[in-house]
Amino acid sequence: MAEVSVLEAVRETLDEALASDDRVFLLGQDLEAGGVFRATDGLSGKYPGRVLDTPLAESSIVGITIGAAHYGQRPIAEIQFADFIHAGFDQLCSEASRWSWRTRGEQYLPMVVRTPWGGGVHGGQHHSQSIEAYYAHMPGIKVVAPSFPADYRSLLKAAIADPNPVLFLEHKRTYRLIRQEVEGAPAEDRIGHSRITRRGDDLTVFAYGMMLHESLAAAEELAGDGIECTVVDLLTLNPLDTETILEAARATGKVLIVHEDTLTGGLGGEIAGIIAEQAFEDLDAPIRRIAAPDIPPMPFHEAMESAFMPDKVKIAAAARDLAAY
C-alpha cells in the first residue's frame, strides 16, 4: 500500500463515513468545490446532497451542526481555519459542551467539528493559530489533535462514531508534509488515549501536531549524542490521558512539554500541573516548557514566524539542558 498524507487520510475517512452511514453529512464553506485545502475533494459529486456549502457564518455552522446532531444525523462541520472558529465559541462552549450534562444524558450530540490549525505556512495572525487551549478548557468537548496519518484515520473515525461533540484539529502544515505507510502503523482508535511513540531513559517529551514531528526529529538527533528521549504523542487534548502522562513522566523523571501555542495558559501548564501534583517525587529536574512567546498571534514574515515557532533545534537544546541537569 502506498504512503498516505494527512490530507489523504482525512479525505478517505470522510469518504468511508459517507459511504457507510447515510446519516453522515458534511457542512462548511467551499466544501462542494472540495474545500480550500481539498479535504472534501470529489465528495460532493459522489454523495449528492450530503456535502453542503454554508454561508460564511461560523456560529450557525456550529449551531446547525448541533441541531442536526440532536435530530439524529451525524453531521461533520468544517471550520475553514481554526482562527475563525471563535465566532462559534458560544455555540460550542455554551451549548454543545453541556447538552448531555444539562439533560442528564437524555439529549446528546454525535457531532464533529473539523478545523485546520497551526502555523509554519506563512499564514500570519489569522491563518496560523493554535486554538486548542480555549476549547480543551471546556469540559464536555473532546479535543483531538493527531500527528500521523494512521491516527488521523482511526481517530477521525472514532470522532464520527462518538455520541459527543468532538473538535478534531488538523495541523495544516502537516496536511501534505507528513506521509506514512498506514498499513500496519500504530493507530489509536480511542479518544482520550495518548501514545508513547518512542522510549528512552533520559527525558520525556510531550507534544502534539506538528510539534510531535519536531520532537521526534530532535530525539533522533539527540540519540546520536547518547541522549535517549521518551516521546509522547498526546493525540487527545481533552480529556487528557492522565495515566499515560504520569507513566511517561515517571519513566524518566525529566519532563519537557512542547507546544506551538503561546506559553501562558497553554496546555503545557495543565500537563505540568498534573505531573507536579501526582508525580513530584519521581521528578529529577524542574519541568520545562517550550512554547511560542506571549505575543498575540503568529507573525507573517518568515524571519519572525520561524522565531515564533518552536522547532527541533530549540527542542534539542532544551532537551540537552534537561538531560544534563
Partner 1 sequence: MTASQTRVPRSSEMLHDYLLSEEQLEAMYRYMLLSRRLEERMMTLNRQGRADFVIAGAGQEAAQVGAGMALKAGVDYAAPYYRDLGVMLVLGMTAREAMLNALGKLDDPNSFGRQMPSHWGSARRRVLTQSSVVATQLVHAVGVALAAKMRNDPIVAFASCGEGSTSRGDFHEALNFAAIHKLPVIFFVENNGYAISERTEKEMPVPHVADRASAYGIQSAVVDGLDAIAVYQTVRPAVDQARRGAGPFLIEAKCFRMWAHSSDDDHRRYRPREELENWASRDPILLFRNRVEEDCLFPPEDLDAIESGVDVEVRAAAKWALDQPDPTPDDMYGFLYREGDDG
Q: Which of 1, 2, 48, 72 binds partner 1 (CB under 8 A)?
A: 72
Contact 21, 74 (CB under 8 A): yes
**Residues near partner 1 (CB under 8 A), total:** 45
Distance CA 262, CA 162 (A): 30
**Judged by CB, which is closer to partner 1: 113, or 290?**
113
DSSP for 105-133, please give it. Answer: TSS----EEEEEE--SSS-GGGSS---HH
Residue closer to partner 1 by CB (options 109, 291) is: 109
**Residue linked to cell 494512521:** 150
* DSSP for residue 92: I
Q: What part of residues 8-27 is at the interface with partner 1 (CB under 8 A)?
A: 25
Check binding of 67 to partner 1 (CB under 8 A).
yes
**106 sits near partner 1 (criterion: CB under 8 A):** yes
Among 94, 176, 294, 321, binds partner 1 (CB under 8 A): 94
Using the rule CB under 8 A, give the single segment among 12-20, 51-59, 143-151, 247-255 that binds partner 1.
Answer: 51-59
List the x/- string, 138-177, binding to partner 1 by CB under 8 A: -xx-x------------------xxxx-------------
Cα–Cα nearest to 286, from 300, 272, 305, 297: 272
- The span from the first CA to the last CA of the chain, in angstroms, equals 45
265: left (phi over 0), alpha (psi -120 to 50) or beta: left
Of 87 and 177, the one with the shorter C-beta distance to partner 1 is 87
The catalytic residue among 127, 171, 213, 259 is 127
Q: Please confirm, yes or no, whether 126 is among the known catalytic residues.
A: no
SS3 content of the chain, % helix, strand, coil (to 5): 45, 20, 40
Angle at 97 between CA 93 and CA 102, to 5 degrees: 120
55 binds partner 1 (CB under 8 A): yes
Least Å distance, CB 91 to partner 1, is 6
Cα 235 to Cα 224: distance, rounded to the nearest angstrom: 27
- In DSSP terms, 238 is beta-bridged to 143
| Binds partner 1 by CB under 8 A, chosen from 3, 20, 42, 57 | 57
Distance of CA 149 to the CA centre of its chain: 12
> Which residue, 20 or 306, is less far from partner 1 as judged by CB?
20
- The binding site for partner 1 (CB under 8 A) comprises 25, 49-50, 54-55, 57, 59-60, 63-75, 87, 90-91, 94-95, 98-108, 110, 139-140, 142, 161-164
**Residues known to be catalytic:** 127
